[in-house]
Amino acid sequence: MSSSIALVLDHVTAAYEREPVLTGINGSLRSGGSLALIGPNGAGKSTLIKAILGLVPVVSGSIEVLGTTPVKARRSVAYVPQADTLDADFPVTVLQVVLMGRYRQIGWVRRPDRANRDAAMRALSEVGLADRAADRFGLLSGGQRQRVLLARAVAQEARLLLLDEPFNGVDTTTTEALLSVLDRLRATGVAVVMSTHDLSVAHLACDDACLLNKHQVAFGPIDESLTSELLKATYGGSALLLAGGATIVAG
Amino acid sequence: MLHDLIIRPFESGYMQRALIEVVLLGVLGGIVGVHVMMRKMAFVTEVVQHTVFPGIAIAFAFGHSLLLGALCAGALSMVLLTVGTRRSAIDSDSFMALLIATFFAFGVIVVSRQRSFQSDLTALLFGRILTVDRQEIVDTIIVGAISVIVLWALHKELVMRAFDPAYTGALGYRIDVIDLVLNLVVMLIVVAAVRAVGTVLVVAFIVTPAAAARLVFRRVRTMMVASALGAAVCGWIGLIVIFHGSIDHGWRVAAGSTIVLVFTLAFVIVWAASAVFARRGRGSGSAASVEAAS
Amino acid sequence: MKTLVDSFHTAIFRRAVFEAVLIGAIAGIVGVHVALRRLPFFVVAMSHATFPGVVIASVAGFSLFVGGTGFGLLVVALVLVLGARRALDDSSVIGVVLAGSFALGVLILSARPGSSTDLSAFLVGSVLTVTSGDIITTIAVGAIVLAVLSLLHKEIVFGAFDRVGAGALGYRTWVLDGVVLVAVTITMAAAVPAVGTLLAVALLTVPAMTARLWTDRIRPTMALAATFGALSGFVGLCVSAIWAVAAGGAIALTAGVCFVISLAATTSRSALQRRHAGVAGFGAA
C-alpha cells in the first residue's frame, strides 16, 4: 500500500474563468509521502490545492487523485483551511467542527451517533485538545483552531491531506503537534500536501517539494529542490543569498 | 414634435420645480453613490432610508418640519449604528436589520394613530415629487452644498479608507470618524430626497446610477461625473414619461416609482451593453494570453 | 385591559393571535439560518422584492403567497445573474434590484383605484383580516420549511461555517445555499398577511439575534428564537388591541424591545461573571 501512488499531476494548467493562473505542474506523490508547495504569495499554491480538490477547473493536462478523478476521490481527500479564514463568531463547538469531517460517512439526514463522536474525540485527543471539546470554536487561539481543523481531517480518515499554510502564524506547541500528527498519519500510508513559505518547516515536514511561481520551477526531493538557484528562480528579486549558501526569502 | 415631447411638460410651475428637484437629487445621489459603492455600504443607505421614517412620521403627526424630524431620526440611527457595530459580539448586518425593523415599526405605529392612516402612510413612503415647493428646493440646495463640500474636502481620505483601511488607520487617521462623516453625508442626502421620492425608494437614487457607472468607468472621478449626469438625465426622462403618461394617456402612475424604474431600466441597458463588450474584450484577451503562454 | 379581554372573546382576534404566534415561531427558527449565513441584507432585499409579486397576485386574483414566492425566487435568480459580473459587489446589485422591483410593485398598484388601502396592507400587514386559508398556508409552509431545514441541518450548518471545506468534501454548496434562500423567501411570503413585506424583516432577523445573545449553541438558539418570535406575535397583538395601533408595527417593535432587554440583561450578566472571575483569579480565564 505504501508504495502506491496517491497523486499524479500531469502537465497541469489550472484556470479561473479561462485565465490560466498556473501552468506546467508535473510530478507525483506516493502514499505516505509528503510534498511542500513553495512559492511567493500569488504564486498559485492555493489554486493548485483547489485544483486537486476539483474546485478549480484544469484546462489542460490532468490530475489523478488516489487512482481516480479529483471529484470522485473527494471523500478520501481532507482539506485543512487556514484557521483565520473561518468566522470566529460562528456558534459551533470544537467537537461539532471535528464531526464535520465525518458527515460524508454519516450521510444526509442522519445525525452523528456514539461511534462518530468517539472517533471525533480520539482525533481531538491526538491534537491535545480533548478538554476543549465543548468550547465554542471561536474562543480558541489561532494555533488551537488550526489543530482542531487538522483533527477534523484526521476524523475524516482520508488517504490524502491538503493543508493550506498550516504553520502560518501558529505557536511552537501547535507546530510540534501538527508535525507529530502528520508523521503518524504518514506512517499509516496517508499522503500529505501542504503549501507554505516557511522553508525550515518545509524541510522538517516534507520529503518532496514543488517550487512554483505561476509555473513549475522544480519538482523533486526537497534537498535537491531547495537550492539557492532554484529559490532565486522562484522568488525572483526577493530571494537574498547569504554567505555560506543560506537563502532568505520574503514571501 | 420634439418641442411637444420635451419642452411642453415643463411649461407649468410644478413640473419645473419637480425637474429642478429631480436633477439636484440625481446629481447628489450620483456623487455620494460612488462612495457608497466603493465601501460596499448599500445596506447602510437602506438603513438610513427606513430609519428616517419614524422621524418624518412624528413630525407629520405633530405638525413640525418633516426635514427636522428626518434629520433627528437619521442622526440618531447613524450614532446607534456606529456604536452598535463597534461591539464585535453583534454582526453588523444583523444590527442594521434590527435598526431597520424597529425604527420602521415605530414609524408605522405613529402613523397608525392618525385618522387617515393609509393615505398618509402612502404619501410618506412614496413621496410627492409633483408637489415640491420652493422651500424644499432651497433645503435641497443647502443640504447638497454641505454634502458636496464635505465629500470634496475629504475625497482622498475617503478613497484611501475604502481601499485600505488598515493602512489608513496606521497612518493615524480615525477610521470611525471618517466612517461617521460618510454615514452622515449619506443620511443628509437621503433626508433631502425623502420628501420627493419617499422613504423606500431613495436607495435607487444613490445605488443604481453609481452601480451603472461602475460597470463602464474605472476612475473614481469619472465614475462620479457619469453617475451624476446619468441620474439627472434619467430623472428628466422619468418626468417626461410621467407627464405624457398622465396628461396625454390618462395613466394613473406613481411619480417616484416611475423615475426609479427609468433608473433601473438604464442600469439594465448599461449592464447588458457592458457584458457584450466585456465578452468581446475577454475573447480577444484570452486569445492573446494563450499565444503568450504557448 | 377591558378592551383586551373583550378582544379575546372575538373569533377574529383569536385567529389573528394564532397566526401571529405561529409565524413568529417559524420565522424565528428560519432566522437562525439567516444569522448564521449573514443574510440579513438579503432578507431586507427580499422584503422589497416579494412586494411586486404580492401586488400582481392581488391584481390578477390568485394567492398572495404564490405571487410573493414566485416573484421572490425570480429576483433571487436575477441577483445571481447580475452579480456574476465581477465589477459589482453583491450589495450594490441587491440595492439596484430591490429598489427597481419595489418601484414596479408600487407602479402596478397605483394604476388601480382605491389602492392605498391595499398598499398599506401589503407593506405592514393586516393580521386582523387573516383568513383560514392564510392560516392553513402558514401551517403548511411551516411544516415543510422546518422539516427540510431539520433534515439537512448538519450539512447546512457545515456549508455556512466552512464553504470551501464543505465543497472539498463534495457537497454542492450552492444547493445548500439555495435551500436556505428558498426557505427564507417562502417564509417571508407566508408572513405577508400578518406583518406585511416590510415588517417581515423584523421576525426573520430580530428574534434570532436576541436568542444568540443568550447562548452559543445552535439548537438552543433555535428554540429560544422560536419562543421570542411567538412572544413578539402575542404581545404585539395585545399591545395593538389595547392602544389601537397597527398590529404589524406593534409585533415588530415588541421583537426589538425583547432584543434591547436581552442585550442589557446579558451584558450585565457577563459583567457580573467577569467580576466573579476576577475575584477567583485569572487562572480560569
With CB atoms and an 8 Å threshold, state whether B286 touches A19. Answer: yes
With CB atoms and an 8 Å threshold, state whether C246 touches B263. Answer: no
With CB atoms and an 8 Å threshold, state whether A23 touches B282. Answer: no
Closest Cα of chain A to B142: distance in Å? Answer: 43
Closest Cα of chain C to A208: distance in Å? Answer: 24
Report the chain A residue with the minimal C-alpha distance to residue C285: A139
| Strand A160-164 with A77-80, pairing | parallel
C127 contact B CB<8A? no
Pairwise CA distance, residues C147 & B83, whole Å = 38
With CB atoms and an 8 Å threshold, state whether C169 touches A97. Answer: no
Per-residue confidence band for B245, with pLDDT thresholds at 50, 70 and 90: confident
List pLDDT tens digits, range A195-222: 987 888 888 889 999 999 888 888 989 8
With CB atoms and an 8 Å threshold, state whether C103 touches B264. Answer: yes
Closest Cα of chain C to B192: distance in Å? Answer: 18
Chain A environment of B89 (Cβ under 8 Å): 89
Per-residue confidence band for C87, with pLDDT thresholds at 50, 70 and 90: low
Q: Please give the pLDDT value at position A227.
A: 81
Rg (chain C; Cα; Å): 20
B57 and B111 in contact (C-beta within 8 Å)? Answer: yes
Per-residue H/E/C for chain C: CHHHHHHHCCHHHHHHHHHHHHHHHHHHHHHHHHHHCCCHHHHHHHHHHHHHHHHHHHHHCCCHHHHHHHHHHHHHHHHHHHHCCCCCCHHHHHHHHHHHHHHHHHHHHHCCCCHHHHHHHHHHCCHHHCCHHHHHHHHHHHHHHHHHHHHCHHHHHHHHHCHHHHHHCCCCHHHHHHHHHHHHHHHHHHHHHHHHHHHHHHHHHHHHHHHHHHCCCHHHHHHHHHHHHHHHHHHHHHHHHHHCCCHHHHHHHHHHHHHHHHHHHHHHHHHHHHHHHHHHCCCCC
Please report, as a single letter, which amino acid is at residue B168: T
Cell of C175: 444547493
Q: Please give the pLDDT value at position B87.
A: 63
Q: List residues of chain B with CB under 8 Å from any CB of chain A.
A: 88-89, 91, 282, 286, 289-290, 293
A251 contact B CB<8A? no
Closest Cα of chain B to A202: distance in Å? Answer: 30
Q: What is the largest CA-CA distance in chain C?
A: 72
Q: What percent of chain C has pLDDT above 90?
A: 35
With CB atoms and an 8 Å threshold, state whether B286 touches A23. Answer: no
With CB atoms and an 8 Å threshold, state whether C216 touches A111. Answer: no
Candidate from B95, B101, B119 with C-beta closest to C199: B101
Of residues C192 and A124, the one with the higher pLDDT is A124
Report the residue count for chain C: 285
With CB atoms and an 8 Å threshold, state whether C168 touches A100. Answer: no
CA separation, residue A10 to residues A62, A214, A216, A226 (Å): 5, 16, 12, 22
Q: String of b and e for C150-160 (b: at least 16 CB within 10 Å)? A: eebbbbbbbbb
Q: List residues of chain A with CB under 8 Å from any CB of chain C.
A: 50, 53, 55, 71, 74-75, 77-79, 81, 85-87, 90-93, 96-97, 100, 103-104, 106, 108-109, 111-112, 136, 152, 156, 162
Chain C environment of A78 (Cβ under 8 Å): 168
C220 contact A CB<8A? no
List pLDDT tens digits, range A77-134: 999 998 888 888 788 899 999 999 898 888 887 888 999 999 999 999 999 999 999 9
- If you average pLDDT over residues B182-209, what whole number do you get? 85
Crossing angle, helix B134-153 and helix B13-38, to 10 degrees? 20
Pairwise CA distance, residues C273 & C280, whole Å = 10
Q: Among B197, B189, B47, B59, which residue's Cα sits nearest to residue B126?
A: B197
| B146 has pLDDT over 70 | yes
Per-residue confidence band for C254, with pLDDT thresholds at 50, 70 and 90: very high
Pairwise CA distance, residues A196 & A207, whole Å = 14
Report the chain A residue with the minimal C-alpha distance to residue C150: A109
Collapse the DSSP code of A239 into the 3-class scheme (helix H, G, I; strand E, B; otherwise coil) and give the result: strand
With CB atoms and an 8 Å threshold, state whether B94 touches C35. Answer: yes
Chain C environment of A90 (Cβ under 8 Å): 36, 160-161
Q: Please give the pLDDT value at position B287.
A: 36
Complex ipTM tops 0.85: no
- If you average pLDDT over residues A2-12, what whole number do you get? 84
List pLDDT tens digits, range A40-88: 888 889 899 989 988 888 888 999 999 999 888 888 899 999 888 888 8
Chain C environment of B50 (Cβ under 8 Å): 198
DSSP symbol at B177: H
Q: Please give the pLDDT value at position C285.
A: 33
Candidate from A81, A103, A136 with C-beta closest to C154: A103
Which of C198, C240, C260 to probe the B interface (max B CBs under 10 A)?
A: C198
With CB atoms and an 8 Å threshold, state whether B282 touches A18. Answer: yes
Of residues B40 and C20, the one with the higher pLDDT is C20
With CB atoms and an 8 Å threshold, state whether B254 touches C41. Answer: no
Chain B environment of A23 (Cβ under 8 Å): 293
What phi-psi label fits residue A206: left (phi over 0), alpha (psi between -120 and 50 degrees) or beta? beta
Closest Cα of chain C to A74: distance in Å? Answer: 6
Cell of C57: 397576485
| Lowest-confidence pick of B84-88, C83-87, C221-225 | C83-87
Chain B environment of C245 (Cβ under 8 Å): 109, 112-113
Q: Which of residues 200-219 of C touch A (CB under 8 A)?
A: 212, 215-218
Residue keyed to cell 428646493: B137
DSSP symbol at A112: P
Chain B environment of C209 (Cβ under 8 Å): 90, 94-95, 97-98
| A154 has pLDDT over 50 | yes
Instruction: Give CA angle at B274 (B269, B278), nearest 5°.
Output: 155
Which of C47, C116, C117 to probe the B interface (max B CBs under 10 A)?
A: C116
* Other Cβ atoms within 10 Å of C12 Cβ, number: 12
Q: What is the dihedral of CA C255, C260, C261, C262, to 10 degrees?
A: 90
Instruction: Give CA angle at C114 (C108, C117), nearest 5°.
Output: 90
Chains A and B: how many Cβ contacts under 8 Å?
11
How many Å separate Cα C255 from the centre of its chain? 11
pTM of the model: 0.81
Collapse the DSSP code of A141 into the 3-class scheme (helix H, G, I; strand E, B; otherwise coil) and give the result: coil
Q: Please give the pLDDT value at position B288.
A: 35
Pairwise CA distance, residues A219 & A212, whole Å = 9
Closest Cα of chain C to A222: distance in Å? Answer: 27
Q: What percent of chain C has pLDDT above 70?
A: 92
- Exposed/middle/buried for B286, CB within 10 Å: 0-12, 13-18, 19+? middle
With CB atoms and an 8 Å threshold, state whether B263 touches C99. Answer: yes
List pLDDT tens digits, range C41-74: 888 888 888 888 888 888 888 888 888 899 888 8
Q: Please give the pLDDT value at position C280.
A: 47
Chain C environment of B102 (Cβ under 8 Å): 202, 206, 252-253, 255-256, 259
Chain B environment of A19 (Cβ under 8 Å): 286, 289
Q: Which of residues 87-106 of C touch B (CB under 8 A)?
A: 87-89, 91-96, 98-100, 102-104, 106
With CB atoms and an 8 Å threshold, state whether B111 touches C246. Answer: yes
Pairwise CA distance, residues A86 & C163, whole Å = 9
C27 and C203 in contact (C-beta within 8 Å)? Answer: yes
C133 contact A CB<8A? no
Cell of C132: 383560514
A116 contact B CB<8A? no
Residue keyed to cell 485600505: B164
List pLDDT tens digits, range C1-24: 567 777 777 888 889 999 999 999
With CB atoms and an 8 Å threshold, state whether B286 touches A89. Answer: no
Pairwise CA distance, residues C81 & C102, whole Å = 19
B42 and B183 in contact (C-beta within 8 Å)? Answer: no
Per-residue confidence band for B291, with pLDDT thresholds at 50, 70 and 90: very low
B203 and C95 in contact (C-beta within 8 Å)? Answer: yes
Q: Which of residues 9-48 of C touch B (CB under 8 A)?
A: 35, 38-41, 43-44, 48
Q: Which of residues 51-90 of C touch B (CB under 8 A)?
A: 82, 85, 87-89
